[in-house]
Amino acid sequence: MNLEQFQLLIKDLPCGKLTPQAVYIHKSALQNEQLTSFLNRIQSALKLEDYDWNIAKFWKNDFKFSLLIYPNFSEESYPALAKSLFIDLDRKYHRLNDYLNTDNPPVLHRKELMVTKEHPFYEEFLIITQEGEQAGLYENSRAIGFKLGWESTITSAGYELVDGRLFRTSALTNDDKKIDRHKTAIVRHGLSSPLKILFNKGYLNGDYSVFDYGCGLGDDISELQANGIDASGWDPNFKPDAELYNADVVNLGFVLNVIEDVAERIEALHNAFALSDKFLIVSCMLTSESKLSQMTPYKDGVITSRNTFQKYYFQSELQLFIEDSLEKPAISAGPGIFIIFKDELEEQKYLSSKLRRHRQWTTLNKAPLKSERNTLLLEKHHQLVEDYWNTVLTFGRLPASDEFNESKEVINTFGSAKKLFNLLINGERKKQFEQAKALRQEDYLVYFALELFSKRLPYKNMSEEKRRDIKALFLSINSGREEAKELLFQIANNELLQDSALKASKYIPSIYNAEHSLLLHAKYINELPVILRIYAGAAAVMYGDWNESDVIKVHLTSGKVTFMVYDDFLNKPIPRIVERVKVKLAQQDIDYFDYVNEVKRPPLLNKHEFMTPKDERYKDQQRLDKKLIKLGVVDASGEQHMSMAEFNGKLASLNKQIKGYRIYTI
């Protein structure tokens, strides 16, 4: 079955609840044997024959659908979703979500639209919907899609749900707790973490306007405006009279987690996204189960010691909430930080930029011999030739005229860019070009592989540069994607991962734990063999940009990748960890650990093993690390685990202390 056939079958459904993107229908109403047989084959292929769904969600314009389980569809007026199986047939991708243990699952309304009039409970479903309409509960459809938002809407309208039916409440039970939401705003010195990510990505270079939705005291805005960036903001407590403006980039920074009302939380997300022209960046606080257990529960969050509300999310929970609310993919940019693109070209530019390698090519001073005239011409215009050649190596193909600033000069001097290329492509330069092309092909294979985790952009909608790359590097975009898919499947091959890690340890400064793990600095990820790049990239889909971390640990047998951030990694000889995020690929989940207590931050030892001899302070770092081993403070080279208290204790027992990169006797 193809997309066209699929769409024809969807149009012929006897009933269904329609949304702008999809149609929902109960299993009992599916009367077309071709469609039901197709769904059965998909379940069988996924080995999910026992997955007992009762509601199907079919996308109108895409070749994808979801099979949903509402255990009490007939019995409950507004049943909650228990499980969902999402299947994207274009990307050959599926995802199984479990809502059983969440406090805020999606809920179902207007059940009568999903069944035929012959259904035994059709009339009852219709009456339930009419009750809700009369109470005005469906006016804000954004706020009622999840359980807590639905319950809040019912209460706000002056009703109670008793045995599944609505009753007017003459005297609502008031919650005496008064949340001091304004106290959540904090004074910042420097940009907040989501805006730092935007700065590192080049979005704060002055080419993009920024709007801060929920700007608090406005420190981010002041910082941006001071640097000449078109920035403004609004906040319900501190800038309630400020105007709302559309901007290229909208920041919803640490706002959702301080709103105790779920309906208002969803509304804030939609309002912020509506103001974005290119993308919205959303950030929330993360936490662990152990921390949550120590706090005072309130609604779906906790009350802090300052009497403020906080909804602490888990990474996957936040992503699910954003995607279900906006019906858009949320791309992880860091722990608790997601980017939701409105501009598809901007999205593809973002995804591909972090996967491209940047190499310094050695200039070849000796021009190739074609004829005496050509040799003299090449030597005379040596700088133009070298600039052109370096551009060729950067692209791994011949650059178009608009991709090289001096194209007109090349044409005037050599007749055409192609002629210049033919004059150069022999001997050592040919080897250089083949290497550059192979590297760019690898970059695109990684891009195609990780593209399977998000919505794939059709070839015709890609940027001109990207279409030129694909045409030059692959037989077709489909052949490139198929090759990438095969590589993606191979990340489960532990033996291949171990062989690749051993190979990488020979040329990348790293710590290799035989048959277990490879640790390296984040800046070397794109230098790894392609299979390890895809493996780490798959984890970064959940973590965010790996460049936001310092040290990355690639676990070779357990399907995990750990991203670690240290305090001033570059400048401190013994940096200490401040954040550790372990991505579990098999479970599609992450464990997040922060080290707020500075005393308990473990040190990074043998740091020189993550550096090259060309790095500044390499010799000083290497000397310090070897001295610590010689003194017995550190057991050996390689990865070491030690608390800061133990490290300081060993130094103290020897009457030693570290100042800078030197060890002194006390």
pLDDT at 25: 95
Q: Domain spanning 181-342: which superfamily?
A: Vaccinia Virus protein VP39 (3.40.50.150)
* Angstrom distance (rounded) from CA 395 to CA 417: 14
612 three-state secondary structure? coil
Q: How confident is the model at residue 185 (pLDDT cuts 50, 70, 90)?
A: very low
pLDDT score for 163: 62
Number of neighbours of residue 91 by Cβ within 10 angstroms: 17
Distance CA 251, CA 212 (A): 5
* Residue 218 structure tokens: 């406005």
In this model, does residue 115 exceed pLDDT 90?
yes
**φ, ψ for residue 121, nearest 5 deg:** -110, 15
Domain boundaries, the chain: 3-168, 181-342, 618-665
Least confident of 73-87, 279-293, 383-397: 279-293
End-to-end CA distance of the chain: 78
Read off the pLDDT of residues 376-396 as tens digits, 9 standing for 90 and up: 788 788 899 899 999 999 999
Helix axes 464-473, 427-451, angle to 10 degrees: 120
- Cα gap 194→246, rounded to integer Å: 19
Q: Which of 64, 72, 121, 123 is nearest to 100 (CA)?
A: 72
Among the listed residues 54, 76, 67, the one whose alpha carbon sits nearest the alpha carbon of residue 97: 67
Contacts of residue 285, defined as CB under 8 A and 6 or more positions apart, other chains included, come to 254, 257, 310, 312, 313, 336
**Predicted pLDDT at 369:** 42
* pLDDT tens for each residue of 506-534: 999 999 999 899 999 999 999 999 999 99
Q: What is the pLDDT of residue 367?
A: 42
pLDDT in tens, 126-182: 878 877 876 778 877 777 888 888 888 888 777 777 666 665 553 333 344 455 544
- Give the model's confidence band at 54: pLDDT under 50 very low, under 70 low, under 90 confident, else very high: very high
Q: Quick one: tokens of 166?
A: 């609505």
Strand partners, 231: 210
pLDDT surpasses 60 at 184? no
CB 302 within 8 A of CB 274: no
**Alpha helix (H) residue ranges in 396-426:** 407-414, 417-424
Measured CA to CA, the distance from residue 497 to residue 50 in angstroms comes to 34
| pLDDT (tens digit per residue) in 326-349 | 988 899 888 889 999 998 888 888
Q: Which helix (H) or strand (E) holds 121?
A: none
At residue 497, φ and ψ (nearest 5 deg) are -60, -45
Q: Please determine, for residue 287, whether its predicted confidence score (pLDDT) is greater than 70.
A: no
Question: What percent of the chain stands above pLDDT 70?
Answer: 89
Task: Tell me the percentage of the chain whose pLDDT exceeds 90.
Answer: 44
Give the pLDDT score at 241: 87
Task: Look up residue 80 and give its DSSP letter.
Answer: B
**Segment holding 333, helix H or strand E:** strand 331-334
pLDDT interval class at 651 (50, 70, 90):
very high
Q: What is the pLDDT of residues 398-427, one digit of tens each?
A: 999 899 999 999 898 888 989 889 888 888
- Residue 181's pLDDT is what? 46
Whether residue 282 has pLDDT greater than 90:
yes
Q: Given the structure tokens 């858009």, which residue do they identify?
A: 328
User: Which class for 202: exposed (0-12), middle (13-18), buried (19 or more C-beta within 10 A)?
Assistant: exposed
CA proximity to 544, closest of 344, 282, 336? 336
Average pLDDT of 494-508? 94
pLDDT surpassing 80 at residue 637: yes
d(CA 466, CA 421): 21
247, 211 contact by CB (below 8 A): yes
Pairing of strands 577-584, 560-566: antiparallel
When pLDDT is cut at 50, 70 and 90, the band that residue 193 belongs to is: confident
pLDDT in the model for residue 378 = 80
Residues written for the chain: 666
> What is the pLDDT, as a whole number, of residue 602?
93
pTM listed for this prediction: 0.61
